[in-house]
Amino acid sequence: MDKTFKDFLIRDWQVGDRDAAAGVVKIVLEEYGLGWETGCSGCSDQDAVDVEKYYQQAGGEFWVVEAH
């Protein structure tokens, strides 16, 4: 799925997006004074790192928005 809206491209997540997407989630959590918990199956933020398991294999979707 690739869609555009104004100056934005909305597309499906790809493996190469892992670090950047997880980085955005981490920054937002830190802005709200929340911790970043990854590295274990029960960690609250592991889904932002293991998109395949927590979204795609579970029948969900994870989209990336790019500004152009």
Task: Inform me whether the pLDDT recorded for 1 exceeds 90.
Answer: no
At 67 the pLDDT is 94
- Average the pLDDT over 16-20 and give the result: 96
At 48 the pLDDT is 92
C-alpha closest to that of 25 among 58, 60, 64: 64
Contacts of 56 (CB under 8 A, 6+ apart): 13, 62
